[in-house]
Structure 1
């Protein structure tokens, strides 16, 4: 039976360009500790951690979020937003619900609403864990689409420090020297493939 880490490695190999959940399963322990309210997920569990999010409520919220993700994947954004809203209503201090709702809002075209939810998710997660990583990547992509390169770079740098390979690739694309090197490399490979300079038929 494969461990979460085994599945994470396989996901990275077979799906290297996925931006969200770059390595699923790798941050599960850290995310669970943060969801329970521990300020340092890498350290020992806090005494108050268990009381922060009651397990039965957390299970209910995760189920609502899964329903929301399924609805969004099938194109039913209204139901997705409703489920994410219900999850947020039940646990308003949990970052994951805001991150998920931001994706649905962005798909609907509500970029301002998505940015508000992403800011909230990053604040609630204290910039740590999987929800923070995914929120930073999403916000970085929005900044990039809005041509706010410096804000995009800052978010991708933070997400890259949290382990996002997609964010690392975005940082390379934002680097003008790397872009120039990529262009020169493509031209050189093109000349190697077609040394006589003739065009394709």
Structure 2
């Protein structure tokens, strides 16, 4: 059985555009189970159902219904981070970036910066900050999301770091030459 380091090396060889150590699935085992212990099971099930309805509505283009469902979920469990994270996405779709940032800050605070909701919130906030040309703040958010297991955030960190991108490009070229050792000048 391969170790985590072995998988990281293989990941770098076969996907040189990702930073070293970005192994899909490696950090996904950290599924937060404390939520079931913290909230009443019936209420948690109801809130999750409302959030699923909100996601479905948003995916079908009905953002106002999505906002209603996420709002209901937050009213039922205002101390649960996921509802704020989901509502932030819908608010962003409506163009309410300030409202989205408030909800993302709330999700991060409620999750204490841990777990899936925090990870998604850091990614969303990083994207907003990047669009607002707040590169350093975006980098910090992506770094926190990457530590929580987000491969997307790791890729964003590479994009924000020109030296890492250059190293990855050079590694990709070198691996390409190893795969096809023919001298390109001989053709």
TM-score per shorter chain, which class?
0.7 to 0.9
Indicate how the Cα distance of structure 1 residues 169 and 100 shifts in structure 2: closer, same or farther if over 3 A, else same.
same
Match of 1:139 in 2: 125
**Aligned residue number for residue 114 of structure 1:** 100
Which residue number in structure 2 is paired with residue 162 of structure 1?
A: 148
1:148-170 deviations in Å (ceiling 9; x for gaps): 00000100111111111111110
Taking structure 2 as the reference length, what is the TM-score of the superposition? 0.74
- Alignment of structure 1 residues 171-190 onto 2, 5 Å: 171-181=157-167
Q: Distance in 1 between matches of 2:113 and 2:43?
A: 23
CA distance in 1 between partners of 2:150 and 2:69 (Å): 27
1:96 aligns with 2:82: yes
Residue 84 (structure 1) aligns with: 70
Q: Could you say what secondary structure the match of 2:79 adopts?
A: coil
Q: Which residue of 2 aligns with 1:123?
A: 109
- If asked which structure has higher relative contact order (CA below 8 Å, sep 6+), I would say 2
Answer yes or no: is the 8 Å Cα contact 2:28–2:149 preserved in 1: no
Query: Across the two proteins, how many residue pairs are aligned to each other?
Result: 158
State the partner residue of 1:5. none
Q: Could you list the per-position Cα deviations for residues 112-169 of structure 1 after superposition, in whole angstroms to 9, with x for gaps in the alignment?
A: 1000000000000000000000000000010111110000010011111111111111
Instruction: Give unmatched runs, 5+ long, in structure 2.
Output: 1-17, 19-23, 177-183
Given the two structures, how large is their TM-score scaled by the length of structure 1? 0.69
Q: How does 1:59-70 map to 2 (within 5 A)?
A: 59-70=45-56
Cα distance between partner residues in 2 of 1:119 and 1:134: 12
Task: List runs of 5+ in structure 1 lacking aligned partners.
Answer: 1-16, 37-49, 190-194, 197-201
Corresponding residue number in structure 2 for 1:72? 58
Instruction: Tell me how far apart the structure 2 counterparts of residues 139 and 123 of structure 1 sit (CA, whole Å).
Output: 13
Q: Who is 2:42 aligned against? A: 56
- Partner-residue secondary structure (3-state), 2:145: helix
